Structure 1
């Protein structure tokens, strides 16, 4: 194991990324354990930090950790020693705390345990996937050619630049079509991004709103495919995420008695039936 770590991580210059990845995953698991214990009102666990009635969210501590790790990493000159590993780990731990409250930053209000709060878990999973792919040695298409091209040769740089731009365009189209994971994978494997960019968009995606008029054949086909293929996958993803992050279905400030109404039958206006 030690030989693999030295040859596969340290010797390849991936020690900072490895430390970031491990600290990020650890930080996310720890903070989710903590908030789930707090939500369950476990007496012997920590409680929310509310000095003077002000609820200090863990994103605040995350920002502090990111600043500490980021500035520390800029000061370290040895890119293979323990100091840079510690700095990257502190930065990764802080990034986990920040992204775990990504939905709060996005909506500028506390939506942690609501349906909108799922955006935080999605953001964390995307970050884990990206850093994990980079840790394995994968790089965006054209990265190696572009970084190793002769700076004095314009033609040598033009080819990789066109390749990178074309691949980035297909990934952007995929993301606009609501295909987050294939859009990300397309950055590393071009064929995935190209196929995703050509195929129909997700019905509620920005691309569908721009390009698929109401009642059009494309919108009907996209909706049919969404219900047949994408929705089952989304439900499976949510079940997996809930095992780790907990259920996002209730407001933290849910008033007494309101919890009993959650999941109750509702009328056409969304109000609980008598």
Structure 2
């Protein structure tokens, strides 16, 4: 095991990424364990961090860890020693704390245990998947052609770069169509993103809002396909996420109280108007 780790992680320069990945996963699991204990009101657990009446969210600590680890990584010159391992681990721990409250940042209010709070778990799962793919050595399609180039013929080089850009455009369209996982997978595996980009968008996605008119046949087909194919997979994904992160639909969405609207006084009947 040690020989494999040295050959496939250390020798390939992936030790900082490995440290980031482990710290990210462990940090997310620990913070989710903490918030679930807090939610269950376990007496021996310390509970929330407060400064007087102010509840300090763990995203604040995450930002501090990310800044500390990021700046430290910029200062470290050796890429295979303990300093870079610690710096990458601090950055990974901070990233886990920040993404665990991604929904709070997105909505600018505490929606942690509401339905909208699932966005945080989705963001964490995406980050784990991407960093895991990069850790095992898979790079985006066309990465070598765009960044390094080679002794190949110029026409072949231009063709590969053009194909990579077309594939990247397909991934962007897939993401706009609400197909997060296929869009990201298409960055690494060609054709997947192009097929996803050619198919119907997910109802409610930016593409559907821009291109599908209400009551149109295209929108009707998209809704039917979403209910028949995508929704069962989403339900399975939610069950798996709930085993790790807890339920997010047990608390009602917080209601934002709007200030009363001041109405201008109405003139008396028959009074002249300005």
Q: Normalized against structure 2, the TM-score is what?
A: 0.88
- Specify the SS of the correspondent of 2:26: helix
Is residue 12 from structure 1 mapped to residue 12 from structure 2 by the alignment? Answer: yes
Alignment of 1:139-218 (within 5 A): 139-149=139-149, 158-218=158-218
Indicate the RMSD between aligned Cα atoms, in angstroms.
1.9
Asked if structure 2 preserves the Cα contact closer than 8 Å seen for 1:19 and 1:85, the reply is: yes
Shift of 1:251: 3.9
Shift of 1:132: 0.6
CA gap of 1:252–1:91, structure 2 versus 1, over 3 A, is: farther
CA gap of 1:92–1:252, structure 2 versus 1, over 3 A, is: farther
- Between stretches 1-10 and 206-215, larger displacement belongs to 206-215
Asked if structure 2 preserves the Cα contact closer than 8 Å seen for 1:141 and 1:163, the reply is: no
Shift of 1:139: 0.4
Task: Give the equivalent residue in structure 2 for 1:259.
Answer: none
Task: Give the equivalent residue in structure 2 for 1:45.
Answer: 45
Q: Normalized against structure 1, the TM-score is what?
A: 0.88
In the alignment, the residues of structure 2 paired with residue 68 and residue 156 of structure 1 have an alpha-carbon distance, to the nearest angstrom, of 44
In the alignment, the residues of structure 2 paired with residue 160 and residue 61 of structure 1 have an alpha-carbon distance, to the nearest angstrom, of 43
In the alignment, the residues of structure 1 paired with residue 204 and residue 82 of structure 2 have an alpha-carbon distance, to the nearest angstrom, of 47
Is residue 3 from structure 1 mapped to residue 3 from structure 2 by the alignment? Answer: yes
Task: Give the equivalent residue in structure 2 for 1:83.
Answer: 83
1:216-238 deviations in whole A, cap 9, x for unaligned? 22111111111111000011000
Asked if structure 1 preserves the Cα contact closer than 8 Å seen for 2:141 and 2:164, the reply is: yes
In the alignment, the residues of structure 1 paired with residue 247 and residue 42 of structure 2 have an alpha-carbon distance, to the nearest angstrom, of 17
- Specify the SS of the correspondent of 1:187: helix
1:56-79 deviations in whole A, cap 9, x for unaligned? 000000001001110110011111
- Between stretches 38-47 and 141-150, larger displacement belongs to 141-150
Alignment of 1:61-140 (within 5 A): 61-140=61-140
Shift of 1:143: 0.5
Number of matched pairs: 253
Asked if structure 2 preserves the Cα contact closer than 8 Å seen for 1:149 and 1:156, the reply is: no
- Between stretches 99-108 and 164-173, larger displacement belongs to 164-173
CA gap of 1:253–1:191, structure 2 versus 1, over 3 A, is: closer
